[in-house]
């Protein structure tokens, strides 16, 4: 096959079968050449060679190769995908391609040094959802140590491909096991696959996960060791079956050379490495043979003696001689040594829920029975210890019976000790009421033993937790920890059932946090009563002993760290308690220790920043705050707000706010604005969400970043706490303006103007000119809307509304006094309040004694009308009639009906005079004024229409006439007939002959004589009959005989002697012979 020699960017290919042939091409040409060779192989049916060429090309130029292969079409692409899937499934190297022996110079051979992983990437590029490639990519993630990411991808793929789940399920199982944190999940996944498809599961694990078999075996061994030794009552049939499946799975996947039974107990111990995890029921089975031999044949002399004595004084002996004192002392020392070893084993447990070490008490159990039978003087003490040992070994019922017997035999001697022991027996048996009674009796004893009191408080706390009183549980454990911390930790690990320790730990942790945050979950009940009583005694409110609470939490945190030394939450809890106690240096030392394990813990960084500020180290504090911001978890301050002292919160809040302002003042760009937003967010959180300055600045930053809705939220937060905050009101209005929410924007601006007009105007003036104009226009529309509503209701503007409108008008003038629109609005407001002198004064000051502006002149005319100068009012208002009809209608609303009708009469008279003088354009304005003043009275509309006809504005005239006809209430009035005839005439003039004929027909139908009279005056009966004939003839040609007949009938009414119409009627009769046409 060919050799590849690279020189910089030049590649040389040598064909071994034609040594004289050397091909030299650039590196860019190589992928194209490989694709061409792949096409040739594909055409010849050599699918493997073709796929190898394409894969090699893909490794050099991915995008070009994918485009080329996709262009091959469905058949070729499908064959190629099949080959790639087979390579990925076998996880083998891509085979080299070439022709062995012979060949021509054009058939060069090329080595393809690429792995199946490249093929998997190539397959994913061609078929993004391909399952085979996805499985191989998951394997790549596992090899790179990204176990959790592999689990997440497997979960997504399992949801997408439920019918092809075996490989994905087994891959996820391996990911769980390699993560070492959730190995039990991996075991369950393996068992799920093993239960469904046993042979395929074993084959997949043996072939594809062979290198990981040691970890798999170790995980299964650990799982078996944790579950096999549990009491039988805790295992159902399904659990036993699952453990049996685990053993069968291990038998099938572990190589035979390991041994015939690779999961024997000895092998299991070696793989797990923690034989102390085995529960008491499996002590003998899990103990190595050499250890058993040492304990039974002389490896431990003390045990040998005890063992022999136990055998001699067993239950089968008919007599029991008294043992020498030295032997008894030896047995006691032996028991103490076993208990000491047990305590050490408990302390060394890898996690809180582990339950190992009880097997060490087996020999002690025998020795105690021996002591109880051989030494009558100390039998009661030995039997008490025996009951304790039985409870720790899991024999709850046996321990309970022994306690009951001992209490019944002597209710006074060791009473507290026995009550506590019996209470824990009841607790393990599930009898919470009896357990609580025993614990309460112990604590209520006149002279209780301190050790018994500590145990009783721990037991009572556990019962209270299970009964739903977490706060009281925390109080019990705080008291116990302050008395004997190490003893409480040992007691929790020994006497609390393993499946309740995790819950107890979490409850204590949460209640400690609530105590520090002053949020106790149990404000009522006994504890609350005690607090209330103490408050009364000391004359204080709430929590009277803040330092005492912090000290109690500190001891509780120490207990939690004894139980789980690596728990971050408990470490932080301890630091918070120290902070509340004022131990700054100890707090910092504790936090730094926690930070070393997790440098990215934002909550710890925030606490350290506060401490640095408190000590005056501003630079260090700022660096820590920056790190919190870089992590992006500014919300980390929320849960610690109640822990920080108010003066420290204020210090940190001011520092964050000043840092943000410094950034905004000295740096530019969106990146720095976002950084300032982060500092402001911290300041807001530290202030409890009430810092108006930070909220306002952050809202403006969000507005700058075009996050309008977020800015509105911040402005709203300010206004919720302080409704009179003008800047927030204006800021929110501006955001509404950008969102084109006119109503909301105007409402906020108006409120701002009412609260502080000067400040609101400054805020508006700070906007760009375009935005100022838009806000001003919206305010203008708002005022006009109010004035229109008041004028239509004929009600005077109320004092409050007048002040409100006047403030808006004055504000608009201050924003832009050069715009005449705002002066006109101000005049309208004064007119509405009937302040005509002030309105006239402002009008003349800004528009002159005789205004040139039509709108201003109209206002001048309105004021004249109010002063009964009708002639001049009509003259001034008529100017606006044709220029701004809408504005004129608005002004006329300020006049009463009597004044309006008077104005209409005067305007109509003036218009008639102007019409006679042929001043039609000027007359039109007066007629329009008359129409609007009279509220569209038909009389004035007809005059307006006649003027329009004379001015040859036929369309407007027709619109007027049609409006009259539409609003007419009388169906046969002469005026309506005349209106139809006038409309028909105008329609003839604008060549709408068909509509004109219809209008005349309606007039004839209403009153024939009046209609014929109007027709005779214009356009003439002969002329109109011709139009009817023409339209009828058109309908006849279109074979619309009924319409043609109708037109001829009415045409003959108009002109009875019209021969053309008569002929047409006869033709229609002939065509419709036998048909009814009317």
> Mind spelling out the 3-state secondary structure of 414-459?
CHHHHHHHHHHHHHHHCCHHHHHHHHHHHHCCCCCCHHHHHHHHHH
Q: With H, G, I as helix, E, B as strand and everything else as coil, classify residue 94.
A: coil
Confidence of residue 520 (pLDDT cuts 50, 70, 90): very low
Confidence of residue 536 (pLDDT cuts 50, 70, 90): very low
> What local confidence, expressed as pLDDT, does residue 1075 receive?
53
Please answer whether residues 458 and 480 qualify as being in contact, where contact means their C-beta atoms are separated by less than 8 angstroms: yes
Cα distance between residue 730 and residue 753, in whole Å: 9
Which tens digits make up the pLDDT trace of 466-501?
999 999 999 999 999 998 999 999 999 999 998 999
The topology (CATH level 3) of 690-767 is 1.25.40
> What local confidence, expressed as pLDDT, does residue 894 receive?
85
Please answer whether residues 578 and 598 qualify as being in contact, where contact means their C-beta atoms are separated by less than 8 angstroms: no
Q: What's the mean per-residue pLDDT of the chain?
A: 79
> What local confidence, expressed as pLDDT, does residue 730 receive?
94
CA-nearest of 739, 744, 721 to 730 is 744
CA-nearest of 653, 562, 567, 561 to 606 is 653
Which tens digits make up the pLDDT trace of 753-778?
989 999 999 999 999 999 999 999 99
What is the phi/psi pair of residue 406, to 5°?
-65, -40
> What local confidence, expressed as pLDDT, does residue 797 receive?
67
Other CB atoms within 10 A of residue 942 CB: 20
For 51, 100, 652, 671, 1016, the CA distances from 622, given in Å and listed in that order, are 58, 71, 10, 18, 100
Other CB atoms within 10 A of residue 262 CB: 19
Confidence of residue 695 (pLDDT cuts 50, 70, 90): very high
Mean per-residue pLDDT, 897-924: 88
Q: Is the pLDDT confidence value at 464 over 60?
A: yes
Cα distance between residue 860 and residue 880, in whole Å: 12
Q: Is the pLDDT confidence value at 694 over 60?
A: yes
- Backbone dihedral region of 474: left (phi > 0), alpha (psi from -120 to 50 degrees) or beta? alpha
Cα distance between residue 729 and residue 763, in whole Å: 10
Q: With H, G, I as helix, E, B as strand and everything else as coil, classify residue 373.
A: helix
Q: With H, G, I as helix, E, B as strand and everything else as coil, classify residue 22.
A: strand
Residues 6+ apart with CB under 8 A from 944: 924, 927, 928, 930, 931, 960
Strand partners, 25: 11
- Give this prediction's pTM: 0.56
Confidence of residue 17 (pLDDT cuts 50, 70, 90): very low
Which tens digits make up the pLDDT trace of 719-734?
999 999 999 999 999 9
Residue 95 DSSP label: P
Distance of CA 956 to the CA centre of its chain: 60
What is the CA angle 785-786-792, rounded to 5?
90
Residue 953 DSSP label: -
Confidence of residue 9 (pLDDT cuts 50, 70, 90): very low
> What local confidence, expressed as pLDDT, does residue 437 receive?
92
Please answer whether residues 799 and 822 qualify as being in contact, where contact means their C-beta atoms are separated by less than 8 angstroms: no
Cα distance between residue 361 and residue 780, in whole Å: 92
Structure tokens at 1017: 């005056």
Confidence of residue 186 (pLDDT cuts 50, 70, 90): confident
Q: If you search the block for the tokens 């051989």, which residue do you land on?
A: 374
Which of 98-107, 125-134, 888-897, 944-953 has the weakest average pLDDT? 98-107
Q: Is the pLDDT confidence value at 716 over 90?
A: yes
Confidence of residue 235 (pLDDT cuts 50, 70, 90): low
Distance of CA 308 to the CA centre of its chain: 71
Strand partners, 7: 10
Q: Is the pLDDT confidence value at 899 over 90?
A: no
> What local confidence, expressed as pLDDT, does residue 89 receive?
64
> What local confidence, expressed as pLDDT, does residue 181 receive?
67
Cα distance between residue 997 and residue 1034, in whole Å: 13
Is 862 or 54 the better-scoring residue by pLDDT? 862
Q: Is the pLDDT confidence value at 621 over 50?
A: yes
CA-nearest of 24, 137, 48, 175 to 99 is 48
Question: Max CA-CA distance within the chain?
Answer: 162
Structure tokens at 1040: 């619309």
Helix 726-738 vs helix 769-792: angle between axes, to the nearest 10 degrees?
90
Q: Is the pLDDT confidence value at 400 over 80?
A: yes
Cα distance between residue 761 and residue 617, in whole Å: 43
Confidence of residue 503 (pLDDT cuts 50, 70, 90): very high
Residue 4 DSSP label: E
Instruction: State what percent of residues in the chain have pLDDT above 90.
Output: 22
Which tens digits make up the pLDDT trace of 320-333?
444 456 667 778 88
> What local confidence, expressed as pLDDT, does residue 423 receive?
93
Q: If you search the block for the tokens 């100022």, which residue do you land on?
A: 772
Which of 430-434, 529-533, 637-641 has the weakest average pLDDT? 529-533
Cα distance between residue 297 and residue 307, in whole Å: 10
What is the phi/psi pair of residue 12, to 5°?
-115, 130
Sheet with 10-14, strands from edge to edge, namely 3-7, 10-14, 22-26
> Mind spelling out the 3-state secondary structure of 631-681?
HCCHHHHHHHCCCCCHHHHHHHHHHHHHHHHHHHHHCCCHHHHHHHHHHHH
> What local confidence, expressed as pLDDT, does residue 304 receive?
52
Cα distance between residue 385 and residue 711, in whole Å: 70
What is the phi/psi pair of residue 22, to 5°?
-125, 125
> What local confidence, expressed as pLDDT, does residue 727 receive?
93
Cα distance between residue 150 and residue 138, in whole Å: 6
- Backbone dihedral region of 970: left (phi > 0), alpha (psi from -120 to 50 degrees) or beta? beta
Cα distance between residue 1011 and residue 1016, in whole Å: 9
Structure tokens at 660: 């943000």
Confidence of residue 294 (pLDDT cuts 50, 70, 90): very low
Cα distance between residue 554 and residue 581, in whole Å: 9
> What local confidence, expressed as pLDDT, does residue 292 receive?
37
Structure tokens at 651: 């210090």
Is 134 or 563 the better-scoring residue by pLDDT? 563
Instruction: State what percent of residues in the chain have pLDDT above 70.
Output: 81
Cα distance between residue 69 and residue 32, in whole Å: 11
Confidence of residue 308 (pLDDT cuts 50, 70, 90): low
Q: Is the pLDDT confidence value at 284 over 60?
A: no
Structure tokens at 198: 């046993």
Q: Is the pLDDT confidence value at 182 over 50?
A: yes
């Amino acid at each position: 096959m060919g050799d590849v020699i690279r020189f910089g960017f030049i590649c040389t290919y040598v064909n071994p079968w034609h040594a004289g042939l050397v091909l030299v091409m650039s590196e860019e040409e190589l992928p194209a050449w490989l694709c061409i060779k792949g096409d040739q192989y594909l055409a010849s049916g050599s699918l493997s060679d073709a796929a190898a060429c394409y894969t090699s090309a893909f490794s050099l130029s991915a995008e070009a190769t994918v485009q080329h292969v996709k262009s091959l079409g469905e058949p070729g692409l499908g064959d190629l995908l099949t080959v790639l899937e087979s390579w990925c499934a076998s996880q083998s190297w891509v085979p080299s391609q070439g022709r062995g022996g012979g060949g021509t110079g054009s058939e060069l051979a090329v080595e393809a040094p690429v792995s199946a992983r490249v093929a998997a990437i190539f397959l994913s590029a061609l078929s993004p959802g391909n399952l085979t490639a996805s499985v191989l990519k998951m394997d790549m993630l596992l090899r790179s140590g990204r176990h959790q990411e592999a689990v997440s991808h497997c979960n997504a793929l399992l949801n997408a491909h439920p019918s092809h789940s075996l490989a994905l399920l087994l891959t996820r199982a391996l990911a769980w096991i390699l993560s070492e944190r959730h190995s039990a999940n991996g075991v369950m996944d393996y068992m799920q696959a093993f239960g469904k498809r046993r042979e395929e599961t074993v084959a997949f694990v043996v072939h594809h996960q062979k290198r990981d078999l040691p970890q798999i075996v170790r995980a299964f061994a650990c799982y078996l060791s944790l579950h096999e030794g549990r009491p039988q009552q805790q295992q159902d049939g399904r659990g036993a079956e699952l453990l049996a499946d685990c053993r069968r799975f291990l038998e099938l996947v572990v190589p035979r050379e390991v041994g015939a039974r690779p999961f024997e107990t000895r092998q299991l111990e070696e793989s797990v490495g923690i034989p102390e995890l085995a529960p008491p029921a499996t002590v003998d089975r899990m103990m190595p043979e050499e250890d058993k031999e040492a304990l039974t044949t002389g490896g431990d002399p003390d045990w040998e003696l005890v063992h022999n004595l136990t055998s001699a004084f067993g239950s089968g002996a008919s007599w029991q001689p008294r043992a020498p004192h030295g032997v008894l002392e030896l047995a006691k020392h032996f028991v103490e040594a076993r208990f000491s070893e047990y305590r050490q084993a408990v302390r060394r447990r890898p996690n809180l829920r582990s339950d190992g070490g009880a097997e060490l008490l087996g020999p002690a159990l025998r020795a105690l029975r021996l002591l109880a039978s051989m030494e009558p003087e100390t039998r009661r003490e030995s039997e008490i210890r025996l009951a304790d040992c039985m409870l720790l070994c899991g024999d709850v019922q046996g321990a309970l019976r022994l306690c009951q017997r001992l209490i019944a035999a002597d209710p006074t001697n060791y009473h507290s000790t026995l009550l506590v022991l019996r209470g824990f027996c009841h607790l393990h048996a599930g009898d919470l009421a009896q357990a609580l009674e025993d614990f309460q009796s112990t604590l209520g004893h006149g002279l209780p033993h301190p050790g018994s009191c500590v145990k009783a408080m721990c037991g009572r706390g556990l019962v209270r937790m299970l009964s739903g009183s977490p706060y009281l549980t925390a109080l019990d454990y705080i008291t116990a920890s302050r008395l004997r911390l190490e003893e409480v930790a040992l007691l929790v690990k020994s006497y609390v059932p393993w499946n309740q320790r995790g819950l107890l730990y979490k409850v204590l942790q949460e209640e400690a946090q609530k105590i520090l945050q002053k949020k106790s979950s149990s404000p009522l009940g006994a504890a609350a009563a005690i607090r209330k009583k103490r408050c009364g005694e000391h004359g204080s409110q709430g929590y009277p002993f803040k330092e005492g609470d912090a000290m109690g939490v500190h001891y509780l945190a120490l207990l939690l760290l004894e139980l789980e030394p690596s728990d971050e939450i408990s470490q932080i809890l301890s630091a918070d308690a120290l902070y509340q106690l004022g131990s700054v240096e100890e707090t910092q030392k504790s936090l730094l220790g926690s930070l070393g394990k997790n440098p990215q813990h934002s909550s710890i960084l925030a606490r350290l920043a506060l401490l640095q500020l408190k000590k005056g180290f501003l630079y260090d504090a700022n660096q820590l705050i920056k790190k919190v911001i870089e992590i992006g978890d500014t919300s980390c301050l929320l849960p610690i707000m109640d822990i920080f002292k108010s003066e420290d919160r204020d210090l940190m809040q001011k520092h964050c706010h000043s840092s943000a302002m410094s950034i905004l003042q000295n740096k530019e760009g969106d990146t720095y604005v976002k950084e300032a937003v982060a500092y402001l967010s911290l300041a807001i959180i530290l202030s409890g969400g009430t810092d108006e300055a930070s909220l306002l600045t952050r809202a403006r930053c969000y507005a700058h970043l075009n996050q309008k809705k977020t800015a509105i939220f911040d402005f709203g937060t300010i206004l919720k706490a302080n409704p009179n905050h003008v800047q927030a009101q204006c800021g929110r209005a501006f955001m509404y303006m950008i969102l084109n929410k006119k109503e909301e924007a105007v409402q906020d601006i108006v409120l701002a103007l009412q609260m502080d007009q000067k400040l609101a105007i400054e805020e508006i003036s700070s906007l760009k000119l375009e935005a100022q104009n838009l806000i001003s226009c919206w305010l203008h529309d708002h005022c006009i809307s109010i004035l229109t509503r008041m004028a239509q209701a004929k009600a005077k503007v109320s004092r409050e509304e007048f002040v409100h409108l006047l403030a808006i008008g004055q504000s608009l003038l201050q924003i832009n006094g050069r715009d005449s629109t705002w002066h006109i609005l101000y005049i309208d407001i004064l007119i509405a309040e009937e302040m005509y002198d002030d309105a006239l004064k402002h009008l003349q000051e800004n528009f002159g004694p005789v205004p040139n502006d039509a709108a201003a002149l109209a206002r001048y005319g309105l004021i004249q009308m109010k002063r009964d100068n009708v002639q001049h009012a009509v003259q001034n208002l008529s100017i606006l009639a044709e220029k701004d009809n809408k504005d004129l209608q608005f002004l006329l609303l300020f006049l009463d009906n009597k004044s309006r009708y008077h104005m209409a009469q005067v305007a109509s008279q003036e218009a008639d005079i102007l019409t006679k003088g042929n001043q039609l354009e000027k007359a039109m304005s007066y007629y329009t004024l008359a129409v609007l003043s009279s509220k569209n009275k038909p009389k004035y509309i007809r005059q307006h229409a006649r003027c329009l006809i004379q001015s040859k504005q036929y369309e407007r005239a027709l619109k007027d006439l049609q409006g009259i006809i539409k609003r007419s209430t009388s169906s046969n009035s002469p005026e309506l007939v005349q209106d139809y005839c006038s409309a028909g005439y105008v329609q003839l003039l604008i060549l709408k002959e068909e509509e004109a004929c219809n209008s005349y027909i309606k007039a004839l139908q209403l009153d024939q004589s009046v209609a014929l009279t109007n027709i005779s005056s214009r356009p003439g009966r002969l002329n109109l009959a011709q139009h009817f004939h023409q339209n009828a003839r058109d309908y006849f040609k279109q074979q619309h005989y009924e319409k043609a007949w109708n037109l001829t009938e009415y045409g003959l009414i108009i002109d009875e002697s019209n021969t053309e119409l008569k002929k047409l009627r006869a033709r229609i009769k002939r065509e419709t012979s036998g048909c009814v046409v009317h």
